Amino acid sequence: MSNDLWRWADPDGQQRRVRLDELRAALAGGHLAPNTPVWRAGWQGWRPAHEVPELSSASVGGANGVVLNIPPPPLAMVAVQQEYEAASGSLAPAPATAESEQEPPPPPAYVPAPTKSPVHPSSGQLKTQVAGSAHVPVAPMAAPRDVGAAPRDAGAAPKLGPSLPTQLGIAPPPAPLPARPPPPAAPSDGTIEELSASMLVESISTRDLGGAGANGGLPPPTVPTVHDGSAELDGGVAGLPRRPGLSLILDDIAEIRRGRPPKNKLLLGVLGVVALSVLIMLVAGIVSIASGPSSSAKDAASAAAASAAAASASASVAPPAPTEAAAATSARALDPIPPPPPPAAETGTTLGDCSAAGDARTIAPRAVIASGIEAHALDGKLALGFAASARDAVAMSLDPSSLATIATVHGKPAGGDARRVTPMFVGSKLSALPDVDRKGDRIGSRRVVAANALLDVGVASGDIVWAPHGKDSFAKLFSVEGEGAIEALRAVPLADRKGIALTFRRGNAVHVGIAKGDSVLEADGELSRIGGLGQVGSPALTASGDAVIAAWADRSGAGEDWAVRWTKIAPGRATDEATPFTIPDGGLGGQAMSPSLASLGGGRFLLAWTEGPVSNHQVRAITIGADGSPSGAPISVSAPGINAGQPAAVVGPDGRGTIAFLAARGKSLEVHAAPITCPPR
């Protein structure tokens, strides 16, 4: 018997210690659900049993009532062998090591997946009872032994612990496992302030939140994860086993050869229809090739040639370079990521004043401050993008009414740390697209924008350029005069036409530009430059009606308070004016920073910001009318007593939205979100 000790947890979070063979037997017999969280020494977090290579075949077999080639031993046999080993002295606990004394993080909550207990011909019939959706034998079973149990007397019978049944059919250990020690208390001087475009917590260093130490020594969050079709699950198990269906087909073919009727006529019928459909499509393809291209195909080819010519002409405004011409001609080429559906745009309805629709709730237990939060309205849902660590990009879709999590996906940034994470639906699947500053990338500060086609904007040779998403070929959009690094670049699609708006910070100024086009972009006018007061934070951007609104925080010097200013720009018209924003009464006051914008249509928008003294902050929001004046009552977004900041606001076409923000908790940051509603006017 293997002494390899594992743990599993029930839906209430109670842990059990078992040996590997006991755990396999329980999974194969259908006593444990295939998605039961398991853990072993050396792991950072819990994992579903069906994703673990050592347990995948047993968990899938138990889930589908499939009798494996070598059936797992019944738990009764495991108990007998355990008694034998205890009597012979082979069950004595191993010397305690640092690895065996390791405690896991708290297990995640889950709903047991349905299981089917396989019945072996020689096992006889067992009396069963229903526990959830699993069939659980009520025959007596041995309790798993505890690692910390005292050595047993060689002549005494082993103590297997109480035999009280649990909802999963396995007895609990003699005593509850010790809980993990609580995390250290947060420093009393935790502060959030604007610094180089970000809301920062002074008690949290970049080293604690990013890079190799991004998790601060804590395991990754245990939120439910929905893998997309291209993700590879550990152990290679991504669904039901293929062998049973293939075996049925082969058995039926063998029966037909013997002159006997098949047992699964429906399965063979479906297989025949599929084979016939494939044959018809193959013949149709051969006939189409033999007859030559149709008139519609010729028209499509002519249209593609014309588009390529127009693209080449638009790219020629930049200095002659092969890369710029290639960007225009390859803009319509196939992309590894299909073009997303158009983002939530203007529907002709202008939304009214926004108000709170409920209290803020915790959405995710961990986030990196440097990446912030991206909020989008996608396909009737609200979506958030953030980084749980520097190398863990997360996208979540939420129900607009309750903010309940619908789906969560994780992605690993390639080539560097996640600078920003854009949530997006590719087809019908939620995806997390991380922006990464890759070493050797020809386009610096590359940032994705979800227009009608996925595009990237960035910096090359001191100019603002665009490129098809993920491509190295680029074309120039704007020349930027002066000196200094181009920072905090971001872009959004226009609301009333095809094109994008972009903004960035350079030195003591904010720049805003507008580009027109679909999959090929060209500048619409010159860049607008708005001078700052002295120190400038990251600008926020949105499009409402025929206007583009930018907002940012700045201050005259290090000893002054941050203040929010904003400007409204019409396509084709430059501006150098900025409107100061006055904090409404009812909050912590003091200073305002880290603004976020959401479009309400008709030139109206929702402005969210962070305010408060150095030691404490809160998130608030207010509607700004088309004339630039506050409209309606201000909204207190974050709960009192929570040090919160860096909001991200989004409102869907139906007026339902959310304001997500970061909240300090100990030495980490949580993602919170509050529901809002902005009814049509």
Q: Which residues, at least 6 apart from 278, have a Cβ–Cβ distance to it below 8 Å?
A: none
Q: Give exposure, 191-210, as e/b (b: 16+ Cβ within 10 Å).
A: bbbbeebbbbbebbeeebbb
Q: How many CB atoms lie within 10 A of CB 109?
A: 13
Catalogue all structural domains in the chain, each as residue range(s) with its CATH number: 246-329 (no CATH), 355-677 (2.120.10.10)
pLDDT at residue 110 tops 70: yes
Q: Give exposure, 238-266, as e/b (b: 16+ Cβ within 10 Å).
A: eeebeeeeeeeeeebeeeeeeeeebeeee
Q: How confident is the model at residue 309 (pLDDT cuts 50, 70, 90)?
A: very low
Residue 578 CA to residue 316 CA, distance in Å, equals: 34
Instruction: Give, rounded to a whole angstrom, the gap between the first and last alpha carbons of the chain.
Output: 72
Q: What is the largest CA-CA distance in the chain?
A: 93
pLDDT at residue 164 tops 60: no
C-alpha closest to that of 220 among 349, 404, 490, 412: 412
Residue 23: the pLDDT is 87
Q: How confident is the model at residue 576 (pLDDT cuts 50, 70, 90)?
A: low
By the 8 A CB rule, do 234 and 47 touch?
Answer: yes
Residue 317: the pLDDT is 37
Residue 251: the pLDDT is 74
Name which of 294-303, 358-367, 529-538, 626-635 the model is least confident about: 294-303
Bridge partners of residue 585, in order along the sequence: none
Pairing mode of beta strands 563-569, 547-555? antiparallel
Q: How confident is the model at residue 94 (pLDDT cuts 50, 70, 90)?
A: very low
Query: 625-650: per-residue pLDDT in tens?
Result: 999 999 999 999 999 989 999 999 99
Residue 661 CA to residue 669 CA, distance in Å, equals: 10
Tokens of 261: 């009727």
By the 8 A CB rule, do 381 and 397 touch?
Answer: yes
By the 8 A CB rule, do 505 and 552 touch?
Answer: yes
Q: How confident is the model at residue 69 (pLDDT cuts 50, 70, 90)?
A: very low
Query: 204-234: per-residue pLDDT in tens?
Result: 333 333 333 333 333 333 333 333 333 333 3
pLDDT at residue 659 tops 50: yes
Q: Tell me what percent of the residues of the chain surpass a pLDDT of 90.
A: 39
Residue 165: the pLDDT is 36
Q: Which residues, at least 6 apart from 315, have a Cβ–Cβ distance to it below 8 Å?
A: 324, 325, 327, 328, 475, 520
Name which of 127-131, 452-456, 532-536 the model is least confident about: 127-131
Tokens of 136: 């659980």
C-alpha closest to that of 463 among 322, 317, 571: 317
C-alpha closest to that of 142 among 58, 92, 64, 85: 85
Tokens of 114: 């349905």
The 3-class secondary structure across 161-199, one letter per residue, is: CCCCCCCCCCCCCCCCCCCCCCCCCCCCCCCEEEECCEE
Q: Which residues, at least 6 apart from 289, have a Cβ–Cβ distance to it below 8 Å?
A: none
